[in-house]
Amino acid sequence: EYGADVIVNDLKIDEDAPVLSEIRAQGVRAMALPGDITDCAKVNEMVDKAVAEMGRIDVLVNNAGAYPALGVLDVTEDHFNFVVNVNLKGLFFMTQAVVKKSMIPNNYGRIVNISSCDGKNPGRGVAIYSAAKAGVISLTKSFALELADYDINSNARWKDALPSIPSRRLGKLSEIAESVAFLCNDKVSYINGEILDVNGGIIMD
């Protein structure tokens, strides 16, 4: 709706995916980019392909996540690695690749990382997920600090959770999208390293 061409990454997505048709109906280009973000070699291949086809990547929204629940006494090494790889490792190396291959060469970039309320206030059964999302918040600030010289901004927003929401409802997809678009707007480019609460009032700070 704001005129951006869109690249959609998922484990399994192709050019016939309905979401791409919806994007193209807005009069912009859309590209399917299948691949596993936990595979660093694949991440670099995906970014190379995206830049070759679309020209550049101005905005990166890191939205991949995995939320399997296990109590701290039941966590296995496989569980630990899976949750950390999807929520933290994939985000880091996708960001690194996009920054190196497009944002630094173009001296411009906007990075929005989707974290979670659990990253600050962990719930039961999601210790590893919470730790990974806390890492997302920390990485967001590190990106902002280290990339500011290239006019690259990094911000995060906490996702919604139904229990204990003062607003008494889940957030709408459009509300989440608008908050991301706000952080990517050049009119507010002085916002950098910010953690934006978009959670109906679960966390107020």
Query: Could you give the residue numbers annotated as active site?
Result: 129
- Three-state SS string over 111-160 comes to EEEEEEHHHCCCCCCEHHHHHHHHHHHHHHHHHHHHHHHHCEEEEEEEEC
Contact partners, residue 74, CB within 8 Å, separation at least 6: none
Supply the DSSP string of 55-111, one letter for each residue: S---EEEE-------B-TTT--HHHHHHHHIIIIIHHHHHHHHHIIIIIHHHT-EEE
CB 30 within 8 A of CB 52: no
Whole-angstrom distance, CA of residue 24 vs CA of residue 15: 11
**Tell me, what amino acid is at 10?**
D
